[in-house]
A and B are shown apart, each in its own frame.
Chain A
């Protein structure tokens, strides 16, 4: 019975997820063992919570989540409002809600809730009949959490909301002109957005355009991270031997900049293998999407794909200067409970889509 149940699961996908989680723990250890705090143990505990969440999600099935998606969405908006009022401030941003033993990051919940709500919303509408209204509705659906997250301020998570809406809309079948108009509107609105940004965010973007602008302050992180990645060379400096992160030249190295640690210690061979591993994971998600016939499932899967894909792209890209510095975590690898549990839950949804692909 259990064996049959397992046979229904997409084993390669789960294997890749587990490999990523273990790699993450290895490098969380490397970047924190000098502090004496047990980050790895906590990450392991969170991974177990994540696995439990995955099993529960699979058991409940993605349809259940789609059916409660609007409620989930509303709940996440409330949490975002709560964090705005009563959240904890870390590193100059209000992103966390403390719940006794641990704290949660509502923006992580908001992302997956938005993906679910959007899949449900788009899946029950037809591009031929009500295209304009649907596009507006989708933009509104994503716009509210986007503005709330931006206000925290968390530019990175906020920017991730854009592909979350753009990619499913694209796959849903929106005409290109709508997509172009939407993107153009966004582009024209950018001066207003620029004014909404905090000074340090503006600085980061300017420094991204020219890292030498202010090499000791805003540019410091960008330069040090790039040095770490570059210094890894072909073979790397060896596990636990990356000087850039071990000596704190790269800040936040167990969370946002964990890729710098991996690239420095494992070199190009290790870093590129990791990228390819992610690529494989993306390919498996796309395959899984192709095999399902449920439109909502397709939209849900592509939403999760774009969530992961852009996180990986931006996080790894910023480590060597392809993108500006933003507080985006690397899925399954960066230290952080909320992000890990949500990622596992998302995988649970995908597994459930795979399992129930041939229900009709």
Chain B
């Protein structure tokens, strides 16, 4: 009887084992097989090297460099390593332990103790490796901008991909840890620079050691890009305005490419890549001088007297004046007797002025008269024809469209009529009018090219536009010639407002502007082209709250032209 119970127990035991095995192996076999595969096969993604960015002379503006991370596999670390590491990293032992216990993807995965360590530390660690079991160095390629802040606004910077971008993005191109362009060329050409990610399926053992590669896909590197800008020119222009809030831009009139686009203050894009740059990053973001802002295309200012070029063209084209039309400037202007006095910048007045002299001396009263004749809406029409108030088709991010006001706009915006007084301000580049410096640069370039439409570009392409039909603005060449003569006198006449920019043995044509920006100092402007005959370049200078255009901006122009001549017309 008891023997039968014993037999029963043995039978039950054997059956329990068989049933348990059946349940685990047959019912749940697929589930456990997946788990065993996940254990064994690890996907090691490999980022494609990002395309390099060159300047027009072939110098590297953006490249990739090796970065070294100090890592440790906690399972392999012996207790005496902790004080050693604390000493090396100059942190407390507690901190080392904390970093060591940060969450990991799988057992035996190394923990990153310090990212992007300096070379000296790297060498020290390599030397001490035999005494530091479990500690090793991991290599990764990261973006590097060898010239730091030079052309930083144009190239832009990278940031870590966010959840939404990752979910939306192509798995072949975006990984969870991928960096993505956040501004400038890095953002606009992100997909071209990015290339295609590769990776390896490796078989690993329980210690995470690689046994063999099961499958492999080599990454396809991103495309390289060549920019039209000249690093050397950028550098020297930067030097010129480094302590100011200012922008200088030069356009190659042959190719319509920007040779230089300098904005000050600038930032160092490397801090957005290196993990150690967090503090500096924050500084850039919080700085009241907004170093991240590219002032040439990303900001809009009142143009001041520079706009008189547009007012003059509008008046000539609409037939309200001829170049010989004369107005008297007593130093002020009233819309009606006893009304408000609109002052000329020269309180003594300019006397009797024609259009040439009005441009040369930047006479406000002349343009008040012209503005009244033309009217705000016609002025706005020609301003738009000349490319103001619309975003440039440039390879830049966060461009400011500016603002060209008219009566409709004012009605929509303020529910108010347009006042005649506002037309006067508008005619001399004030009121609601806002332009970006690059819009003004394009204006100067189109004048230099006698009315051919100009679309500035940043990417170098020597063949650009060769087979496209030339587009023109709807303004006659004859009238543009008149304006150009006026611009020549601005610099080269002894009464001109831009005399300080005069170039010896050469003729520069330009127009200055001093745009009121109360309560602070006015913005100093100067734009133009060079040389007067067969122009090669157009330029714009803006000094934010920089005072007088004729003095401060003109000085910068003169120096900048000299630099250009040194670089491109060596004697």
Task: Give the interface of A toward B (CB within 8 A).
Answer: 167, 170-171, 173, 216, 220, 224, 226-234, 243-244, 247-249, 251, 263-264, 267-268, 271-272, 275-276, 278-279, 282-283, 286, 289-290, 302, 305, 309, 312-313, 316-317, 320-322
Residues of chain B having any CB pair with chain A under 8 Å: 2-3, 5-7, 10-11, 13-14, 16-18, 20-22, 24-26, 28-33, 35-37, 39-40, 107, 203-207, 211
Contacts of B22 in A (CB 8 A): 268, 272
A-B residue pairs, 10 tightest by C-beta: A230-B32, A233-B29, A231-B36, A247-B205, A279-B14, A248-B206, A268-B25, A249-B206, A320-B24, A231-B33
Q: Which residues of A contact B40 (CB under 8 A)?
A: 243-244, 247, 249
Contacts A228-B36, A230-B29, A268-B26; A286 near B21 (Cβ below 8 A): no
Q: Beyond the given A230-B33, A231-B29, A275-B14, could you list 6 further A-B residue pairs with CB under 8 A, ordered by the A residue number?
A: A224-B39, A230-B32, A231-B36, A249-B39, A249-B40, A275-B21
Beta-carbon contact of A234 and B26 below 8 Å: yes
The interface residues of chain A lying within 8 Å CB-to-CB of B16 are 313, 317, 322
Asked whether, in the complex, the Cβ of A286 is within 8 Å of the Cβ of B18, the reply is no
Residue pairs across A and B with Cβ atoms less than 8 A apart, 12 shown, are A171-B6, A229-B24, A229-B32, A230-B28, A233-B25, A233-B33, A243-B36, A243-B39, A247-B204, A272-B22, A302-B6, A320-B24
**Nearest-CB residue, chain A, relative to B108:** A216
Q: How far is it, in angstroms, between the C-alpha of A230 and the C-alpha of B29 when the chains are bound?
A: 5
Interface centre among A220, A224, A248, A316 (most CB of B within 10 A): A316
A284 to chain B, nearest CB (A): 11
Taking a contact as CB atoms under 8 Å apart, the answer to whether B206 and A227 are in contact is no
A305 to B107 alpha-carbon distance, docked (Å): 41
- The one of A216, A234, A251 in contact with B107, judged by C-beta atoms closer than 8 angstroms, is A216
Cβ-defined contact, B206 with A230, below 8 A = no
Q: Give Cα A90–Cα B434 distance, bound, in whole angstroms.
A: 82
In the complex, the chain A residue whose C-beta lies closest to that of B207 is A248
Chain A residue nearest to B204 in the complex (CB): A247
Distance in angstroms from A118 CB to nearest chain B CB is 16
B17 contacts A316, C-beta separation under 8 Å:
yes
- CB B203 to nearest CB in A, in angstroms, measures 7
Assembled-state Cα–Cα distance A233/B21 (Å):
9
Give A321 to B28 CA distance when docked, in angstroms: 13
Say yes or no: B21 contacts A268, CB within 8 Å. yes
CB distance from B22 to the nearest CB of A (A): 6
When distances are taken between beta carbons in the complex, the residues of chain B under 8 Å from A220 are: 107
Task: Determine if B32 and A227 form an interchain contact, defined as CB atoms under 8 angstroms apart.
Answer: yes
Inter-subunit contact A234/B29 (CB<8 Å): yes
CB-nearest residue of chain A to B38: A227
Closest Cβ of chain A to B548, distance in Å, is: 71
Which chain A positions have C-beta within 8 A of B10? 279, 282-283, 286, 305, 309
CA distance A40 to B24 in the complex (A): 29
Is A286's CB under 8 angstroms from B3's CB?
A: yes
Contacts of A230 in B (CB 8 A): 24-25, 28-29, 31-33, 35-36
- List, in ascending order, chain B residues with CB within 8 A of A290's CB: 3
C-alpha gap A316/B18 in the complex (Å): 10
Complex interface: chain B residues within 8 A of A321 (CB): 24
A272 partner, pick from B18, B36, B37, beta carbons under 8 A: B18
Nearest CB of A to B239, in Å: 57
Q: Are A275 and B18 in contact (CB under 8 A)?
A: yes
Q: Point out the residues of chain B lying under 8 angstroms from A275, CB to CB.
A: 14, 17-18, 21
Q: Once bound together, how far apart are the Cα atoms of A249 and B40, in whole Å?
A: 9
Query: How far apart are the CA atoms of A313 and B19 in the complex, in Å?
Result: 13
> How far is B39's CA from A248's CA once the two chains are assembled, in angstroms?
11
**Shortest Cβ distance from B306 into chain A, in angstroms?**
69
Question: Complex Cα distance A290/B16, Å?
Answer: 25
Shortest Cβ distance from residue B103 to the other chain A in the assembled complex, whole angstroms? 11
* CB < 8 Å neighbour of B2 from A171, A251, A272, A320: A171
> Is B14's CB under 8 angstroms from A248's CB?
no
On chain A, the residues within 8 Å of B30 by CB distance are 233
User: Are B17's CB and A231's CB within 8 A?
Assistant: no
Which of A171, A271, A278 interacts with B3 by CB under 8 Å? A171
Given A216-B107, A232-B29, A290-B3: A247 touches B203 (CB 8 Å cut-off): yes
A117 to chain B, nearest CB (A): 21
A276 touches B14 (CB 8 A): yes
| B5 CB contacts on chain A under 8 angstroms | 170
Determine the chain A residues whose CB is within 8 A of the CB of B3 once the complex forms: 171, 286, 289-290
The answer to whether residues A173 and B107 also contact, given A228-B36, A275-B21, A316-B17 and a CB cut-off of 8 A, is no
Check A263 against B107 for contact (C-beta < 8 Å).
no
Whole-angstrom distance between the alpha carbons of A305 and B18 in the complex?
A: 19
Q: Are B206's CB and A247's CB within 8 A?
A: yes
When chains A and B are docked, how far (Å) is the Cα of A313 from the Cα of B20? Answer: 11
* List of A residues within 8 angstroms of B32 by Cβ: 226-231
Residues of the B chain whose Cβ atoms lie less than 8 Å from the Cβ of A316: 17, 21
In the assembled complex, how far is the CB of residue B85 from the closest CB belonging to chain A, in whole angstroms? 22
In the assembled complex, the CB of A207 is this many whole angstroms from the nearest CB of chain B, namely 15
Residues on the B chain within 8 Å of A233, using CB: 25-26, 29-30, 33
The complex places the Cα of A290 from the Cα of B6 at a distance, in Å, of 12
Q: Which residues of A contact B207 (CB under 8 A)?
A: 248
Chain B residue contacts of A271, Cβ below 8 A: 21, 25
Residues of chain A with a CB closer than 8 A to B28's CB: 230
Residue of B nearest to A282 (CB): B10
Given that A170-B2, A226-B32, A231-B32 are contacting pairs, would A267 and B25 also be in contact in the complex, using a CB cutoff of 8 Å?
A: yes
Q: Which residue of B lies closest to A223 (CB)?
A: B35
**Given the complex, which residues of B lie within 8 Å of A279, measured CB to CB?**
10-11, 14
* Least CB distance, B233 to chain A, in whole angstroms: 58
Contact across chains for A263 and B13 when beta carbons are under 8 A apart = no
- Distance in angstroms between the alpha carbons of A217 and B519 in the assembled complex: 68
Known: A229-B25, A232-B25, A290-B3. A276 touches B13 (CB 8 A): no
Q: Is the CB of A173 within 8 A of B2?
A: yes
Most chain B CB atoms below 10 A, which of A228, A268, A286, A317: A268
Q: Do residues A282 and B25 form an inter-chain contact, with CB atoms below 8 A?
A: no
Residue of A251, A276, A313 with most partner-chain B CB within 10 A: A313
A229-B24, A230-B28, A243-B40 known; A278 and B14 CB under 8 Å?
yes
| Residue on B nearest A290 in the bound complex, by CB | B3
Q: In this complex, which of B14, B40, B203 has the most chain A Cβ atoms within 10 angstroms of its Cβ?
A: B14
Point out the residues of chain A lying under 8 angstroms from B17, CB to CB.
Answer: 275, 312-313, 316-317, 322
A62 to chain B, nearest CB (A): 19
Task: Tell me how far the C-beta of B331 lies from the nearest C-beta in chain A, rounded to whole angstroms.
Answer: 86
Contact partners of A228 in chain B: CB under 8 A: 32, 36
Cα of A226 to Cα of B211 in the assembled complex, Å: 23
Docked CA distance A171–B10 (Å): 14
Inter-subunit contact B29/A227 (CB<8 Å) = no
Is B18 in contact with A309, judged by CB distance below 8 angstroms?
Answer: no
- B502 CB to closest chain A CB (Å) equals 77
Q: CA separation between A167 and B18, bound complex, in Å?
A: 23
Query: Which residue in B25, B205, B211 is a CB contact (below 8 Å) of A263?
Result: B25
CA distance A272 to B14 in the complex (A): 9
Query: Across the interface, do B33 and A320 meet the contact criterion of CB distance under 8 Å?
Result: no
User: Is A276 a contact partner of B18 (Cβ separation < 8 A)?
Assistant: yes
Q: Give B102 Cβ to nearest chain A Cβ, in Å.
A: 14
Bound-state CA distance A309–B204 (Å) is: 37
Rounded to whole angstroms, the CA-CA distance of A279 and B13 in the bound complex is 9
CB-based nearest A residue for B31: A230
List the A side residues contacting B37 at CB < 8 Å: 243
Nearest B residue (CB) for A310: B13
Cα separation A343 to B29 with both chains bound (whole Å): 33
Contacts of B36 in A (CB 8 A): 227-228, 230-231, 243-244, 249, 264
Please indicate the chain A residues that have their CB under 8 angstroms from the CB of B21 in the complex.
Answer: 229, 263, 268, 271-272, 275, 316, 320
**Which residue of B has the minimal Cβ distance to A320?**
B24
B2 & A282 in contact (Cβ 8 Å cutoff)? no
Task: Provide the bound-state CA to CA distance between A264 and B39, in Å.
Answer: 14
Once bound together, how far apart are the Cα atoms of A234 and B21, in whole Å?
10
